Structure 1
């Protein structure tokens, strides 16, 4: 669906408005001179002072025109040209202009560059994500189709045993369940990336919720007081629920929440005592669909959902120091 369009009607160009104003400025002394000449019609020639006044007005008008061209119309035309260039060339065309003219145009240009970078990055992410989704869906679909074709082609000349038939049916069910989990995760990711209302959640609420959902984990919190986390409960439960689930699946028996807030920045470190992450996998864990538990049904989308939720609230997540046993994630949120 096409986006909103500007109503098409005649509008004067900025250059026309600017130069019309300048011509009006230039015409004012001319009109004054002609007015006084009409009153004093006896003098047949223009006085030197009158000629000087008109020349000065012309020079001043041309000077103002040059300044306005350099500071307003020129940078705006350059910004329009850069917009078209980015639309054709992508991220390589996202470079600053040579001149901005005024503070307001420089601010507008910076906002435009930031927005363009985000849109191009988003396009690259969607393209990469679509390729990953296609790959992840292809494997179980291929397995289901192969098993179904073998079951369809089974005949009396070489019939399958009951055990073989059951194995094929079990594979179909297992792959169907995997597709269901992938689709459920994709729906969660779609919801996580939608803008959400702001809110706060007490750390004690989250600790109680985690303890009830993951009874095998000893959930502890370390904070100076029950400071609120600047996330609504639904978003906070998605973030911490996925991190706790990863810890539980990797053999952790303790989950520690270390909370601090200072100078408008909230930091939450989530630390477990599980098996940890190998050096080779540390650079891969935030990639969509990367999972060390694929055989056990892992989809590899949990951390991607966590990052999407935090991004929607202006936050970030990164993997902590590898020197500690287990895994530590550091979450930063504004507020």
Structure 2
């Protein structure tokens, strides 16, 4: 059964979905609010109409009382006018207010107004025909109907006001839920920003201060950051820390070379003259000795001369290490340089070691003398690692057009380099040989020469057996004129 992989959103996707959610929420809130406001507007408009009807009914009752008290024909006319106006208003708004569940109440009110108007007609006729107590029942009927009109109009107004209060309560509830939703969404955004943006930035800020203090510890990022922008920033920052640490190591290496070079120059000059005197004295004594006599003394003197030569070689190495030569870069063939180097080292390579080369015709901008010295050191170092055993040294070169570089590798079948020594082999005076077998300056000189050519050199232990030196140099690009 195939496993299912959860969909992991990065920060941009989360922000996008959050903003889309906010837009939907705001649209929904706005839509509900608009519908509530529209409903409130309609209720307010119908409330105004019901207020008008209620005011007309009050005017009807006022003119009715004035007519019964004073018997003024004008009050009777006003009573009929307000009654007809109320009836006409109800008739006009009846179709619209049926949708508001007021149809039945308005119908009853209209019927009651019609009945009231007829009762007033009866009172008017009674008063005009027969004056006296005989009209009292008609007047009482009118008053009773008037009271019913007041009660019905008040009921109508109360219903509309209750609707207004109800819609206001709904709107309040809607606003509370809207605030709650927006608060939750805002809290979610705050959590995302805090965990996905602020926290990584704080870690980067802390790491920056640590770097300023010389601490190159990598940021221990959380696994859940790896697939978003914050994780990529942390990974890039960790890579930058690693590169800075490497650059610092290279700077320390350069400082070591500089300080050791000054010291080496002083020591070499101090030792050179005594060694020359000792060598000259040994040679004079050997020449003066009788060849047949003092054989033992001659042997001792020759041994002393040999040791003096060894000491002079060491001094020469110190001077070579410390001397600032005139550096001159010229376009040169790497294949020709390799051929010359192999001829120079041929006498120092044991017959049991086979050298294989695979070097195309590549042109490099280099100082031939210094580069020749560098490769002689590398090859002799590989030969010494193999020793008297049967082995092989392989020299290969290839170009990278994309990076505009040449990659040169020198592999040997020796015992390899331990992890402990791998990071120190380019240090001055570091050697795995016996004290009497070398000074440890060879690879440090190689390191300086390669760096002077704007290149890089590194070493690694091969998976099988042996070591590999990797030299990366810039490719010479020939620019032709227009």
Deviation at residue 110 of structure 1 after TM alignment: 1.6
- Contact residue 317 and residue 441 of structure 2 kept, 8 A: no
- Contact residue 259 and residue 268 of structure 1 kept, 8 A: yes
2:445 maps to 302
Q: Secondary structure at the match of 1:318?
A: strand
- Are 1:242 and 2:378 counterparts? no
1:317 maps to 459
Q: Which runs of 5+ in 1 are unaligned?
A: 1-17, 149-162, 168-173, 193-200
1:64 maps to 189
1:97 maps to 221
Deviation at residue 175 of structure 1 after TM alignment: 7.5
Q: Which runs of 5+ in 2 are unaligned?
A: 1-14, 45-163, 282-313, 347-353, 399-406, 473-482
- Contact residue 460 and residue 469 of structure 2 kept, 8 A: yes
| CA deviation profile, 1:64-121 (whole Å, cap 9, x unmatched) | 2222322222322332233223323613x43413576452211211221222233234
- Are 1:118 and 2:243 counterparts? yes
- Contact residue 260 and residue 267 of structure 1 kept, 8 A: yes
Structure of higher RCO (CA pairs closer than 8 Å, 6+ residues apart): 1
Deviation at residue 287 of structure 1 after TM alignment: 2.1
Q: Secondary structure at the match of 1:215?
A: helix
2:8 maps to none
**Hey, what's the Cα distance between the residues in 1 that align with 2:181 and 2:393?**
77
Query: In structure 2, do the counterparts of structure 1 residues 285 and 123 end up closer, same or farther at CA, with 3 Å as the change threshold?
Result: closer
2:232 maps to 107
Deviation at residue 128 of structure 1 after TM alignment: 5.3
Larger Rg: 2
1:211 maps to 339
- Contact residue 258 and residue 270 of structure 1 kept, 8 A: yes
**Hey, what's the Cα distance between the residues in 1 that align with 2:471 and 2:374?**
17
**Hey, what's the Cα distance between the residues in 1 that align with 2:322 and 2:436?**
12
**Hey, what's the Cα distance between the residues in 2 that align with 1:208 and 1:65?**
67
Alignment RMSD: 5.9
> What does 1:139-218 correspond to in 2, within 5 Å?
139-141=264-266, 144=269, 179=319, 181-184=321-324, 206-212=334-340, 215-217=343-345
Bigger CA drift: 111-120 or 126-135? 126-135
Deviation at residue 38 of structure 1 after TM alignment: 6.2
Query: In structure 2, do the counterparts of structure 1 residues 256 and 88 end up closer, same or farther at CA, with 3 Å as the change threshold?
Result: closer
**Hey, what's the Cα distance between the residues in 1 that align with 2:190 and 2:465?**
65
1:151 maps to none
> What does 1:33-52 correspond to in 2, within 5 Å?
40=40, 42=44, 43-44=164-165, 45-47=168-170, 48-52=173-177
Query: In structure 2, do the counterparts of structure 1 residues 268 and 86 end up closer, same or farther at CA, with 3 Å as the change threshold?
Result: closer
Q: Secondary structure at the match of 2:340?
A: helix
Question: Which structure shows the higher helix fraction?
Answer: 2
Deviation at residue 62 of structure 1 after TM alignment: 1.9
Query: In structure 2, do the counterparts of structure 1 residues 68 and 177 end up closer, same or farther at CA, with 3 Å as the change threshold?
Result: closer
